[in-house]
Each structure stands twice: as structure tokens, then as C-alpha cells.
Amino acid sequence: MKRLLLRLSLLLSLGLATAAPAESPASPPAEAIRMLGPKPPATVKRVVTLVPSLTETVLALGAGSTLVGVSRFDEAKEVAKLPRVGGFVNPSVEAVLRLKPDLVLVQPGPGNQRPVETLAELGAPVMLLPLRSVADTEAAIEAVGAALGKKKEARALVERIEATRARIRQAAKGRPSPRVLLVYGFEPLVVAGPGSFADELLKDAGALNVAGDAGSAYAVLSLEHAVRARPEVVVDAADVDTGKDKTRAAPGLDTARWVDVPSLALLQPGPSLARGLEELFTLLHPAPPRAP
């Protein structure tokens, strides 16, 4: 349930609603990393994150000791005892300010714009880090690394992600290109669309994203659209099965190969993207069964 709430929060923050129309609007233009509020100190010692992907980034940089507060969705054992400061779209301004942060790391979205602006107005240095694409994610890692005095570590993380992408692209060469639908939720049917990091990872893994023309990074499709797309593989990244039976029984979708994501790595735009890509490649290109 916790993961479901996080995913819904993220989707809502990106401008989706559960009552979205059958076809989503065009993706908004790419955002840049921005600072709000006062300038952070030269040495940042107290960091609050409002989304697990950015917590993961701080931990992967070896700066976990700077974390003093995280969102209620964070599950990493390293932050299990830290104060919770609310959700992605509704962080508690009071809870964050009580922690006297040197820096607040935020994935921006329409859903959290007002509380984040309030934080900055009340004196908290806020770094806004878009995480829509792989490039966004890598830029965020570098920016957080620079802010925390971990530039070399950040560069190494980005290089590891890119090395994995290059290796997987090479491995995908010469293999069949399955038609894939990656699903985040069934009611409504929310899928990975163009411009999302998942769309990029599907391409890296040698797949054709059948929602690549959906017009939005997190597209809400009608069932009819999904049927017309004729996916050969459906990657189930949803947390709950509500609406799944109806989707799975639809003509054409009932003959597709359905697979579940094995972890959150494919869902969090952070340092674990490389692992998520490796998992995705294995899902799409399973090893043939051994002869008895």
C-alpha cells in the first residue's frame, strides 16, 4: 500500500488524475534544476528529502550522515529511524522547518508546488530536481553530488549507469524487438509513455514501447488503445490488481506474455536505474529453458 501511495503521489504530481481522459495531453517541456529560497551553506550538513529516489541518491553518494528527515514513503533501512516529513504532494512545512535543513531536495510537480514554495519563503534552501528522463536523473545525481561535496562520487555513479546502458544496448543487438506495454496501474490504465526514463530503458533493452506515441511520459490509455497497440509483452509494474483481470482478458492482451517487475529499481529514477535496466532486459529476453 505504501508503494501504491507513493506511485499515485508521483503520478498526481506529474499532472495526472485518476479521472484523466482516455488520451493524455502532450508532455510538458523539460524542466531545469532550480534553487528556491536562500543559498545553502558551503558545507551542507543537514538534508531533508521529499522522495525516496533522492534519498537513494544521497545514500549512494556516501552522504547518508547528512540526512535528517525523509518522506513517509522511504523504506531504506538506513533511514528507518529518521523523522518523516509527510508525503510527496503534501509535505509538512512545519516538520521540515523543525529539522533546520541546510538543503531540501525536491522532485518538483504541480502537486507539491505550493508547500515547496512556502518552504523557500520561510528560509529553507530548496533544490528542485526534475526526474522525468534518464538525463534528468543523471543531472540530479551530479547536482546533489556538487551540493554535498561528492562530485567524484556522483560522476562515478553516472558513469556506472551509462556503462550499464551501453552494455545492455550491445547485448540487445541482434535479438528480437518485442512490442512492450509497461503498466503502472490498471484503473486507470497508466503506462510508460514517450519521454519517461522507463521509455528510454525499454529502448536500451531492445524493446518497442507500444505507448511510445501516447503523448505523455505517464500516459493514461483507454483499454481500446492498449488493444490496438498489440503488445507482445506486458510489464506489470502496478502495486494492486484492481482492473487487472479486465485488462488481461481483453482481446490481444490475453495472448501477450505478462511479467512482473522484480523490484522497485525500475520505478525509482535514481542510482538504481542501472539495476532496473538489467532486470528489464532479463524480463524481455529470458534465457531459454535448459534441456533436461
83-94 confidence digits (pLDDT tens): 999 988 899 999
CA distance 130 to 127: 10
Q: Range with the lowest mean pLDDT among 30-39, 134-143, 168-177, 199-208?
A: 30-39
Give tens-digit pLDDT for 13-37: 454 433 333 333 344 445 799 999 9
| Helices 273-284 and 151-172, packing angle to 10 deg | 10
**Is the confidence at residue 98, as pLDDT, over 80?**
yes
pLDDT at 240: 84
pLDDT at 88: 85
CA 105-110-116 angle, 5° bins = 40
Q: Where would I find the H helices in the chain?
A: 2-13, 52-60, 93-98, 113-121, 134-147, 151-172, 197-204, 223-229, 244-248, 273-284
CA distance 67 to 45: 8
**Is the confidence at residue 65, as pLDDT, over 90?**
yes
**Is the confidence at residue 239, as pLDDT, over 70?**
yes
Contact (CB, 8 A) for 211 and 192:
yes
CA 194-170-198 angle, 5° bins = 20
pLDDT at 229: 95
pTM of the model: 0.87
pLDDT at 189: 95
The better pLDDT of the pair 246, 290 is held by 246
Q: Is 31 left (phi over 0), alpha (psi -120 to 50) or beta?
A: beta
pLDDT at 70: 98
| Residue 11 pLDDT grade (very low, low, confident, very high; cuts 50, 70, 90) | low
In the three-class reduction of DSSP (H, G, I as helix; E, B as strand; rest coil), residue 150 is classed as coil
CA distance 187 to 57: 31
Residue with cell 522484480: 262
pLDDT at 120: 98
Contact (CB, 8 A) for 60 and 155:
no
CA distance 289 to 292: 9
| Residue 209 pLDDT grade (very low, low, confident, very high; cuts 50, 70, 90) | very high
| Residue 106 pLDDT grade (very low, low, confident, very high; cuts 50, 70, 90) | very high
pLDDT at 199: 95
Give tens-digit pLDDT for 211-223: 998 888 889 999 9
